[in-house]
Chains A and B, each alone.
Chain A
Amino acid sequence: MQELSLNILDIAENSVAAGATRVVIGIVYTPGPAPLLTITITDDGHGMDEDTVRRVADPFYTTRTTRKVGMGTALFKQAAELTGGSFSVQSRLGIGTVVTAALHPDHLDAVPLGDVAATYAALVQTSPEMEFVLRVCRKGEDPQEFVADTAQFREILQGVPLNSAPVVQFISDYVRENLAQTLGEDLFL
C-alpha cells in the first residue's frame, strides 16, 4: 500500500464485512523529538474469538473463500512495525474489534498518511447505511481536533442521500481541508 490511508480503507472494509453499524477511525499525531502517529479503527461488528485474533495478521489466514491468503491486516502490521512502531488487534465476539497501529512518521521506512479524506469519502459512499466517524487530533503545545460524523451530515441533509455524488464530493473536500488544518498541511499529505 502506497499510503496509510489505503490501509485504513482496507481495515475499515473488514469492519463493513463484519456487519458493523458504526466505525470510528481515530488518528492522533503527537509531535516532538520522537513524533508518534496512532491510528485506531474501532467497530461494533461481530468480532472474533481469541484463536482468530491470534491468526489475523498471518498472511496465510483469511476468512474469504476466493483465495487462501489474506494480506490486509498483515500489510498494516508491517507498515507499523517497519517504523519501529507497534500493532495490535483486540476483539470480543458479539461486541466488536479495535485495530491499533502506532507508527513513527519520521522513520525512513514510514509510509505517508496520504489522502484520509478520500478514504473516508469512499467508505461513506459505498456503505451509506453505516455510521462513520473520523476523529483527528494533533497533540502538543497547540492541540487541535477535528471530527467528521455521518450522523451529523445526515441530520443536515434531511433525507438527501448521503451517497449522492455531489454530497460525497463535498464530504471529501470538507474533510481534506479540515484535516490539513488540524494535522499541518505538508506533514503527511
Chain B
Amino acid sequence: MKSLAELQALRDQMKDQMGIRHDAKDNIRVVVGMATCGIAAGARPVLQRLTEEVAKRSLQNVTVAQTGCIGICQYEPVVEVFENGKEKVTYVKMTAEKMARVVTDHLVNGNPVVEYTIGAATEAINQ
C-alpha cells in the first residue's frame, strides 16, 4: 500500500527536475468545466486522464484549472486550452480518450484537434 514515504521520494525526484526551468511563454493552461453540468457529464474522468498523460510525458509547462458553468451545458464536458499569443481552443463533449489525443496532438505537438472543437460541433448541427 502507498505510504507518505513515497511522497517524500517523489518530492526529492521532482526537486531535482525543478532546477530545469522552462520558458514561461511556453505555458499552456488547460481549464476543465467543473460545475454540476460538467461533473454529471463526465468531467472528472477527463481531468483524471489529462493528469495521467501530463505526468506520463513530464509536461512541466501545462497547468490545469477548473471553471464553473460557462453556459453551454449541452456541450459538457468542456475543456479550454489557453496558450500565450494564440486564440483559445474550446473542446466539447470530451471523453478520456479524446483528452489523450488532445494531449499528444495539441499540448505536445501544437496541432489543435479541430474535430473535437465547439466550432466543428456546431457546424455539424447546422448542416
Query: Cβ of B34 and Cβ of A13 under 8 Å apart?
Result: yes
The distance in angstroms between the C-alpha atoms of A70 and B73, with both chains bound, is: 12
CA distance A64 to B67 in the complex (A): 13
Asked if B40 is at the interface (CB within 8 A of a chain A CB), the reply is yes
Given the known A-B contacts A163-B64, A165-B59, A169-B51, are A174 and B44 also in contact in the complex, defined by CB atoms under 8 Å?
Answer: no
* A67:B1 contact, CB within 8 angstroms: no
The answer, yes or no, to whether B88 is at the interface (CB within 8 Å) is: no
Instruction: Check A122–B48 contact: CB distance below 8 A.
Output: yes
Majority DSSP secondary structure for residues of B touching A: helix
Beta-carbon contact of B69 and A64 below 8 Å: yes
Q: B52, A169: Cβ atoms under 8 Å?
A: yes
Residue pair B51, A13 in contact (C-beta under 8 Å): no
Smallest Cβ distance from A150 to chain B, in angstroms? 12
- Tell me the smallest distance from the CB of A26 to a CB of chain B, in Å: 20
Contacts of B114 in A (CB 8 A): none
Q: Is B99 an interface residue (CB 8 A)?
A: no
Whether A108 is near chain B, meaning CB under 8 Å from some CB there, is no
Q: Is the CB of A157 within 8 A of B69?
A: no
| CB contact under 8 A between A170 and B44, given known A13-B34, A125-B51 | no
Question: Which chain A residues border B73 with CB–CB below 8 Å?
Answer: 67
B7 touching A166 by the CB < 8 A rule? no
A156 touches B55 (CB 8 A): no
Q: Given A156-B4, A156-B11, do A126 and B64 touch, yes or no (CB 8 Å)?
A: yes
Contact of B71 among A66, A75, A126, A181 (CB under 8 A): A66
- Asked if B25 is at the interface (CB within 8 A of a chain A CB), the reply is no
Report yes or no: A13 in contact with B11, Cβ–Cβ below 8 A.
no
| Contact yes or no, A168 B51, CB < 8 A | yes
From A9, A66, A70, A160, B44 is in contact (CB under 8 Å) with A9
Closest to A174 in B: B2
Interface residues contributed by chain B, number (CB under 8 Å): 38
Q: Within the assembled complex, what's the spacing in Å between the Cα atoms of A4 and B102?
A: 29
Cα distance A125–B55 in the bound complex, in angstroms: 13
Within residues 38 to 62 of chain B, which ones have a CB less than 8 A from any CB in chain A? 39-40, 44-45, 47-48, 51-52, 54-55, 59-60, 62
Cβ–Cβ contact A6 & B64, under 8 A: no
Q: Which of B7, B35, B44, B63 contacts A157 (CB 8 A)?
A: B7
Which of A6, A9, A64, A170 contacts B7, CB < 8 Å? A170
Cβ–Cβ contact A158 & B70, under 8 A: no
9 contacts between A and B (CB under 8 A): A1-B40, A66-B70, A70-B36, A118-B44, A118-B45, A126-B34, A156-B11, A166-B14, A167-B14
Binding site for B on A (CB under 8 A): 1, 6, 9-10, 13, 17, 64, 66-67, 70-72, 75, 115, 118-119, 121-122, 125-127, 152-153, 156-160, 163-170, 172-174, 177-178, 181
Known: A66-B70, A168-B51. 13 other contacts (CB 8 A): A6-B44, A13-B39, A66-B69, A71-B36, A118-B44, A121-B48, A125-B51, A126-B66, A153-B7, A156-B11, A167-B10, A174-B4, A181-B1
